[in-house]
């Protein structure tokens, strides 16, 4: 394995935590399209979903120990104290509801129409996907009356468990719609069921992949709500995701057309640098550099990994001694010659945006098989090892879908990972002697695989399971990722959630839940 380091020419630093578009709130201004078609709405809605995913990833990365404040900047405020206000992370709410309004438009304008069964189903699947994001972030949210527009601009809040139950059922309906559409195309010579064609920037019109996505979202719901909500645990026979779910409308180096994660953390279309105020934590780096585990994926992810220029920090440590983030960004690997077609997390401005990775699907199946009763059979160790290997495959793949099998062979480095960590049950499932250790191994490996990709999902499962393990109250940077400036009242010194946005206090104050506290108010599945 060739692991050569070289220096990328530095560009000027730029501050700003990803300038966010100001989205309309569902209460302030119903943002329904009045003249459009399902075909046009689907592709545009999926583009917006990529931006939503990027917003949640940035939020989760701060909270679950993937990123820390870099040197050369100040004013981190609530980002390092956790003394959140209603203005913190509010785009998670606003952008999601704005996007959901579009999906609801597709549902409303295709409901009961077999010709548009695929469009109706896709919109329902995406509605379920995004409402889980909302519940996992805020718990109770407007759902049943959220899209009545002028008939009800101040919708009541539905219980988080009830929303989970509703979107699980919605996914069953979506699967039924797809199957009916596929049957009509197969059996009816005069079928007018509309195929996606170029309008599907997620799966290129492959409805079997949409069914796999629906199954996998159902599984995520069931795993997260295990022991609290009883679902039917019936999945379409097609199975779960068999590849990464990547949104790509044709990203390119142009204003407003770049991969949103790359635009936030890499470079802008004019070669201006993205956000340089954040860097990797010492905690997450310990899973790559031998402090906890040794892992070649660190070279694929981090700028300068393995060399003297690789720097990390613990969240909340602010001092003149804190190094600056690399001029090319902390998450642009310097192991490839062309930053526009690289490996790792930020593969380039034209790379697809990961919505749901195959690796996460593997780990969900591993957990479901371990605990039982969730409709997943098989050996959990098989899913576990698949999850690790599929993480290597995702990170080592160039944005154009190719591999450098000489220097970045995912199978070879996966085998090396097993060899480099021979005594760790976090890597070798058979060394885990209890179900608790097996669950820890699954969630810890999922944590590694989700690093700066879908960080919010790692944050959700950390709160649910307590893994990866941290030492409560520790100020040791490899023992805990809690901020050194934390004002949290929890024993782990972390927050339990973020707060409802300012827009809800302004426009829906009568209904927004009161007395919500970022340290004591929990999501329904959080046992702490």
* Phi, psi (degrees; rounded to nearest 5) at 289: -95, 10
Cβ–Cβ under 8 Å, residues 51 and 95: yes
State what percent of residues in the chain have pLDDT above 70.
Answer: 93
Mean pLDDT calculated for residue range 119-135: 98
148 or 357: whose pLDDT is higher?
Answer: 357
Cβ–Cβ under 8 Å, residues 497 and 465: no
* Phi, psi (degrees; rounded to nearest 5) at 278: -130, 150
The answer to whether residue 371 is domain-embedded is yes
Per the structure, the count of domains in the chain is 1
The answer to whether residue 516 is domain-embedded is no
Report the pLDDT value the prediction gives residue 150, as an integer from 0 to 100.
78
Residues ≥6 apart with Cβ < 8 Å to 380:
365, 366, 367, 369, 370, 429, 438, 442
Report the pLDDT value the prediction gives residue 338, as an integer from 0 to 100.
78
Cβ–Cβ under 8 Å, residues 259 and 353: yes
Mean pLDDT calculated for residue range 486-501: 98
CA 121 from centre of chain: 22
Q: Is the predicted pLDDT of residue 10 greater than 90, yes or no?
A: no
Q: Is the predicted pLDDT of residue 462 greater than 50, yes or no?
A: yes
Provide the b/e sequence for 365-388 (b: ≥16 CB within 10 Å): bbbbbbbeebbbeeebbebbbbbb
Separation of alpha carbons 178 and 322, rounded Å: 53
pLDDT digits (tens, 9 = 90+) for 375-429: 999 999 999 999 999 999 999 999 999 999 999 999 999 999 999 999 999 999 9
The answer to whether residue 144 is domain-embedded is yes
Q: Is the predicted pLDDT of residue 315 greater than 90, yes or no?
A: yes
Other residues' Cβ atoms within 10 Å of the Cβ of residue 320: 6
CA 285 from centre of chain: 19
CA nearest 455: which of 21, 54, 2, 148? Answer: 54
Report the pLDDT value the prediction gives residue 36, as an integer from 0 to 100.
83
**pTM attached to this predicted model:** 0.93
State what percent of residues in the chain have pLDDT above 90.
Answer: 88
Beta bridge partners of 278: 69
The answer to whether residue 20 is domain-embedded is no
Q: Is the predicted pLDDT of residue 32 greater than 50, yes or no?
A: no
SS3 246: strand
Dihedral sign for Cα 174, 180, 186, 190, please: negative
Strands 67-69 and 245-247: unpaired
Residue entry with tokens 């569902």: 26
Cβ–Cβ under 8 Å, residues 461 and 499: no
**Residue 293's domain spans which residues?**
39-507
Report the pLDDT value the prediction gives residue 8, as an integer from 0 to 100.
26
Q: Please state, rounded to an integer, the average pLDDT across all residues of the chain.
A: 92
Mean pLDDT calculated for residue range 181-194: 97
Q: Is 145 exposed, middle or buried (0-12, 13-18, 19+ CB in 10 A)?
A: middle
Q: Is the predicted pLDDT of residue 307 greater than 70, yes or no?
A: yes
Give residue 29's pLDDT band: very low, low, confident or very high (50, 70, 90).
very low
Long-range contacts of residues 75-81, Cβ cutoff 8 Å, at least 24 apart: 76/277, 76/316, 76/318, 80/315, 80/316, 80/318, 80/483, 80/484, 80/485, 80/486, 81/316, 81/483, 81/485, 81/486, 81/487
pLDDT digits (tens, 9 = 90+) for 331-377: 999 877 777 889 999 999 999 999 999 999 999 999 999 999 999 99
- What does the CA dihedral 171, 177, 182, 183 come to, rounded to 10 degrees? 130
CA nearest 234: which of 177, 178, 169, 166? Answer: 169
Through-space distance between the first and last CA atoms of the chain, rounded to whole angstroms: 43
The answer to whether residue 30 is domain-embedded is no
The answer to whether residue 166 is domain-embedded is yes
Report the pLDDT value the prediction gives residue 20, as an integer from 0 to 100.
34
Q: Is the predicted pLDDT of residue 108 greater than 60, yes or no?
A: yes
Q: Is the predicted pLDDT of residue 49 greater than 70, yes or no?
A: yes
CA nearest 94: which of 130, 62, 40, 144? Answer: 130
The answer to whether residue 513 is domain-embedded is no
Residue entry with tokens 């097996």: 438
The answer to whether residue 519 is domain-embedded is no
Q: What is the CATH number of the domain that holds 111?
A: 1.25.40.390
Separation of alpha carbons 337 and 200, rounded Å: 32
């Amino acid at each position: 394995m060739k692991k050569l380091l070289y220096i990328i020419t530095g560009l000027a630093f730029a501050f700003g935590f990803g300038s966010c578009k100001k989205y309309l709130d569902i209460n302030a201004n119903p943002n329904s399209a009045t003249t459009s078609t399902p075909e046009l709405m689907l592709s545009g809605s999926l583009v917006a979903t990529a931006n939503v995913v990027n917003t949640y990833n940035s939020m989760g990365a701060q909270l679950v120990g993937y990123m820390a404040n870099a040197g050369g900047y100040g004013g981190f405020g609530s980002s390092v104290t956790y003394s959140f206000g209603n203005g913190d992370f509010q785009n998670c709410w606003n952008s999601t509801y704005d996007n959901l309004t579009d999906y609801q438009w597709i549902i409303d304008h295709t409901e009961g129409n077999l010709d548009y069964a695929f469009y109706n189903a896709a919109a329902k699947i995406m509605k379920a996907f995004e409402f889980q994001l909302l519940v996992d972030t805020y718990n109770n949210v407007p759902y049943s009356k959220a899209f009545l527009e002028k008939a009800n601009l101040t919708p009541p809040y539905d219980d988080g468990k009830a929303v989970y139950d509703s979107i699980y059922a919605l996914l069953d309906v979506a699967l039924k719609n797809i199957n009916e559409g596929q049957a009509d195309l197969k059996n009816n010579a005069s079928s007018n069921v509309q195929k996606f064609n170029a309008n599907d920037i997620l799966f290129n019109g492959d409805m079997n992949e949409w069914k796999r996505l629906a199954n996998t979202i159902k599984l995520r719901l069931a795993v997260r709500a295990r022991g609290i909500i009883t679902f039917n645990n019936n999945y379409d026979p097609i199975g779960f995701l068999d590849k990464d779910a990547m949104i790509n409308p044709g990203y390119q180096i142009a204003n407003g057309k770049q991969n949103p994660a790359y635009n936030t953390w890499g470079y802008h279309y004019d070669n201006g640098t993205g956000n340089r105020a954040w860097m990797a934590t010492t905690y997450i780096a310990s899973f790559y550099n031998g402090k906890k585990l040794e892992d070649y994926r660190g070279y694929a992810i981090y700028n300068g990994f393995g060399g003297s220029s690789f720097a990390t920090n613990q969240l909340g440590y602010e001092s003149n001694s804190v190094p600056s983030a690399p001029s090319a960004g902390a998450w642009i690997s310097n192991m490839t010659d062309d930053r526009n077609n690289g490996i790792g997390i930020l593969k380039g401005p034209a790379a697809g945006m990961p919505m749901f990775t195959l690796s996460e699907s593997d780990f969900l199946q591993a957990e479901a098989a371990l605990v039982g009763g969730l409709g997943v059979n098989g050996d959990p160790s098989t899913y576990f090892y698949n999850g690790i290997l599929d993480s290597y495959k995702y990170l080592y793949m160039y944005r154009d879908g190719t591999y450098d099998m000489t220097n970045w062979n995912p199978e070879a480095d996966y085998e090396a990972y097993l060899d480099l960590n021979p005594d760790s049950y976090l890597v070798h499932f058979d060394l885990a002697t209890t179900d608790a250790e097996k669950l820890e191994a699954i969630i810890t490996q999922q944590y590694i695989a989700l690093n700066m990709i879908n960080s919010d999902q790692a944050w959700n499962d950390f709160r649910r399971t307590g893994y990866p393990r941290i030492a409560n109250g520790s100020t040791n940077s490899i023992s805990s990722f809690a901020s050194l400036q934390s004002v949290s009242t929890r024993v782990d010194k972390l927050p339990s959630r973020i707060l409802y946005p300012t827009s809800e206090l302004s426009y829906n104050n009568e209904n927004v839940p009161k007395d919500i506290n970022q340290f004591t108010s929990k999501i329904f599945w959080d046992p702490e």
